Structure 1
Amino acid sequence: MTACPQPDPLPGPGPGPSPGSEDLPATGWPPGTASGPGLRLDRPAELIAAVPVLLGFHPRDSLVFVSVTGPHPHDRLGLTVRVDLPRSSASARRVCREAVGVLAGERPARALALVVRDPGPAGPGPRRSRRDVGAAARRELLDAGIEPIAALWATGTRAGDRWGCFDLPCTCGGLLPDAASTTLGVTAAVRDGRAVLPDRAAVLAPLYSDAGTRRRRARLRDPGAAPARVGAATGTALLDACLDEAAASRLVVDDRLALALCGALDVGDVRDEALRRCLGPRAADAEQLWAVLVAALPSPQRAHPLALLAVCALLRGDGALATGATERALAERPDHVLAGVVAASLHGTRDPRSPAARWAGPGGLRRLLTAMLDPDAPDETAAR
């Protein structure tokens, strides 16, 4: 799934579950798309059309929650959470509960539920579009103290796809507009800056390798190419030098450098510094470095950069990539601590009284990692 601290509103208009499984919901979260006149809750078609911009891809067979924060009329988009549609009505409540649990960690005021399902030749309609999931989503939102804006269905999220409302006797519906023609879609695209990919598989593609990458990994897997451990100061200096190269668009990681970075990340103090880079202003450069190492390193050495990549992705709002990277890291090392921490933030909890509630979502992950790196720092959630 996916969260981060929300910015001020804009003015104006192996082991572990497989990717996409129900066990670990896959979501995407926006980096805080602002509203003002741009967010019109009475125009659901425009909100549905903006969902791919918020997620970074066009969802299929998905349940999507879009949360809204702030007092009306200063509404703004909060968390956007995507999970696979439950396979049966019996599992609908559980799947909705897990997804709403992540929303509850960010304490939104309201949320919209959207079921995206291509009904095939039978044609669209509430029954074929999983009214059972819409009803379960509404119940879970209410139980979590989140006001349901609406429960909607759509046959897709591209211009011209059909949409409608599960709520009776509401008869609203029609065809979706092009997101590029709506103020909300354009605002979200400018704020996020990500291209909209065709599906979730395209988001996860960087985690998998081509033939050339596999040959490189085979070389680095050779026992004679084992990385040498380095001191914390040396490892941190190497890390920062690579981030400088990434910032200048000059980052090139050859086999020797890949092994040196691998040895550096085996040092706990260097990993702590790497986490601090993920939480600070160098997060974008750090994410670029982790992605390169994920492609370069063999198993199980790639578990560290996979977990760090998951942290960066989740904090900036890319829940699909965060989920995929977390799953791959846990497949490499089932006991990987950082990957387990990210997985816990992705799961969330519906019960706001649970100690785990404050660690849910991107905001919760940031609080948790900050507390791990600086145990003496004040816990800002304790005063709430």
Structure 2
Amino acid sequence: MTTSHTPDFELDRPGTVIAAVPAVLGFVPEMSLVLVTVDRGELGCVLRIDLAEDMTDQIAHLAEVAAAARPDGAVAVIVDEHGAGCHPCNDDYRDVAEQLADELDYRGIELLGAHVVDRVAAGGHWHCADGCGRGGVIEDPSSSPLALAAVLDGRRLYTGRAELQAVIAVDPTRSAALAEVIAACEGPEMSDADACAAITEARVAAAHVADGGTLADELAARLGRALRDVRVRDTLFALAVGEDADRAEALWVSLARILPAAYRVEALVLLAFSAYARGDGPLAGVSLEAALRIDGSHRMAGMLDQALQSGLRPERIRELAVTGYRLADQLGVRLPPQRIRRRRAG
């Protein structure tokens, strides 16, 4: 789920709305039902689910999540490569739209429109899901106001969900090897001094990875073990808002790819928090999804996922980093100062 303010945006032009979806969603959707919420005439949150034969439960959940932000209305976009000119499919599209409209209406949200598009790209074709006869061509998504805003904000736009998931794809060979290294170096619980040393080592490793270096097995194993210590992990959350944020995120990506599952989950949660804090909801989402697959009861992963699903804005989630700075003070660890964020004009 992602959110955006939409200055200079026309919600009554389906081609414009559809073209804006990749910039807000963070990637180009395929075979998807996308729900764009509208609040006081502006684009609100954007949610996506996969198309399937039976979408009853998925649509009900989609409407429930959308209702958490209390929008005035919503626009549905069905992305189906077979959508353009597929007359036999229209009944299916109409059924999906009607089911979604009922679920939204039950929660006090009006479905303002439902459109079918074959591809979210320049030249893609859309038409009304209810067979109203309207249709048109998609504007270039890369030229939409929201795409330009995303570039200015430093957010990455992914070509598809597969590219997004590839960011955290596991290296099974390396992961298996590290499982043996970690098992061989298991030891007693960390002291405060050990925790301080681990935090410092993580920062040094982050700089090394960001400069193109790789992690030796012994170092990766030590870091993996250290992240399971709550003091270490919660202190490292602060790096997401500090001047070393980019370096830290590079380390979390690297560890998420190579650590065995029980240790990988902590790297995924740190990556999710880092991505969420800088406004990359899609990367935060896939990271949390992977973390919760490993440990469905993980408290921090669950909390962040709930915040993301409910549309809590990045500036609010960044407040959690204060805990990391407080823990650092208690441990006597010096962290980089917080990065100053300046609001762009307009």
State the TM bucket, normalised to the shorter chain: 0.7 to 0.9
CA separation of 1:183 and 1:129: change in aligned 2, threshold 3 A: farther
Residue number among 184, 190, 203 corresponding to 1:224 in the alignment: 184
CA separation of 1:363 and 1:252: change in aligned 2, threshold 3 A: same
Q: Measure, in 1, the Cα distance between the counterparts of 2:205 and 2:268.
A: 17
CA separation of 1:227 and 1:65: change in aligned 2, threshold 3 A: farther
Pair 1:308-2:275 in alignment: no
Give the AA of the match of 1:130.
Answer: Y
Q: Measure, in 2, the Cα distance between the counterparts of 1:160 and 1:128.
A: 24
CA separation of 1:326 and 1:65: change in aligned 2, threshold 3 A: same
Q: Measure, in 2, the Cα distance between the counterparts of 1:343 and 1:334.
A: 11
Q: Which residue of 2 aligns with 1:15?
A: none
* Structure-to-structure mapping, 1:79-118, within 5 angstroms: 79-88=45-54, 91-92=55-56, 94-118=57-81
* Structure-to-structure mapping, 1:2-81, within 5 angstroms: 2=1, 29-30=2-3, 32=4, 34-37=5-8, 39-69=9-39, 71-72=40-41, 75=42, 77-81=43-47
Q: Secondary structure at the match of 1:300?
A: helix
Give the AA of the match of 1:36.
Answer: P
Say how many residue pairs are matched: 320
Q: Measure, in 2, the Cα distance between the counterparts of 1:227 and 1:133.
A: 55
Answer whether contact 1:226 1:259 (CA < 8 A) is retained.
no
Q: Which residue of 1 aligns with 2:254?
A: 292
Give the AA of the match of 1:80.
Answer: V
Answer whether contact 2:238 2:321 (CA < 8 A) is retained.
no
Pair 1:200-2:152 in alignment: no
Structure with greater helix share of residues: 2
Q: Secondary structure at the match of 1:207?
A: coil
Answer whether contact 1:68 1:111 (CA < 8 A) is retained.
yes
CA separation of 1:369 and 1:300: change in aligned 2, threshold 3 A: farther
Q: Measure, in 2, the Cα distance between the counterparts of 1:330 and 1:245.
A: 29
Q: Which residue of 1 aligns with 2:336?
A: none
Residue by residue over 1:310-335, the C-alpha shift from the partner in whole angstroms, topping out at 9 and shown as x without a partner, is: 33344545454444333432343344
Q: Measure, in 2, the Cα distance between the counterparts of 1:261 and 1:141.
A: 46
* 1:140 positional shift: 2.6
Q: Secondary structure at the match of 2:262?
A: coil
Q: Secondary structure at the match of 2:263?
A: coil
* 1:192 positional shift: 5.4
Unpaired runs of at least 5, structure 1: 3-28, 349-359, 375-384
CA separation of 1:367 and 1:325: change in aligned 2, threshold 3 A: closer
Give the AA of the match of 1:111.
Answer: A
Q: Measure, in 2, the Cα distance between the counterparts of 1:149 and 1:366.
A: 29
* 1:371 positional shift: 11
Q: What is the root-mean-square deviation of aligned Cα atoms in Å? A: 3.5
* 1:40 positional shift: 0.8
Q: Measure, in 2, the Cα distance between the counterparts of 1:159 and 1:177.
A: 5
Answer whether contact 2:73 2:109 (CA < 8 A) is retained.
yes
Q: Measure, in 1, the Cα distance between the counterparts of 2:303 and 2:167.
A: 22
Residue by residue over 1:142-177, the C-alpha shift from the partner in whole angstroms, topping out at 9 and shown as x without a partner, is: 333334332211122122222112356x43212212
- Between 1 and 2, higher relative CO (CA 8 Å, sep ≥ 6) is seen in 1
Q: Measure, in 1, the Cα distance between the counterparts of 2:242 and 2:110.
A: 34
Answer whether contact 1:129 1:153 (CA < 8 A) is retained.
no
Answer whether contact 2:150 2:156 (CA < 8 A) is retained.
no
* Structure-to-structure mapping, 1:162-311, within 5 angstroms: 162-167=125-130, 170-191=132-153, 193-197=155-159, 199-210=160-171, 214-215=173-174, 217-222=176-181, 223-226=183-186, 230=190, 231=192, 232-243=195-206, 249=211, 252-278=214-240, 283-311=245-273
Task: State TM-score, norm by structure 2.
Answer: 0.77
Pair 1:154-2:117 in alignment: yes
Give the AA of the match of 1:288.
Answer: A
Q: Which residue of 1 aligns with 2:333?
A: none
Q: Measure, in 2, the Cα distance between the counterparts of 1:268 and 1:68.
A: 39
Q: What percent of counterpart residues are identical?
A: 32
Which sits farther off after the overlay, 364-373 or 183-192? Answer: 364-373
Residue number among 86, 99, 113 corresponding to 1:123 in the alignment: 86
Residue number among 304, 311, 314 corresponding to 1:361 in the alignment: 311
Q: Which residue of 1 aligns with 2:343?
A: none
* Structure-to-structure mapping, 1:331-370, within 5 angstroms: 331-345=293-307, 348=309, 360-363=310-313, 370=320
Residue by residue over 1:74-123, the C-alpha shift from the partner in whole angstroms, topping out at 9 and shown as x without a partner, is: x3x332111112422xx43x322212322222333332211112227972
* 1:237 positional shift: 3.1
Unpaired runs of at least 5, structure 2: 325-346
* 1:279 positional shift: 6.2
Q: Measure, in 1, the Cα distance between the counterparts of 2:142 and 2:293.
A: 39
CA separation of 1:272 and 1:110: change in aligned 2, threshold 3 A: same
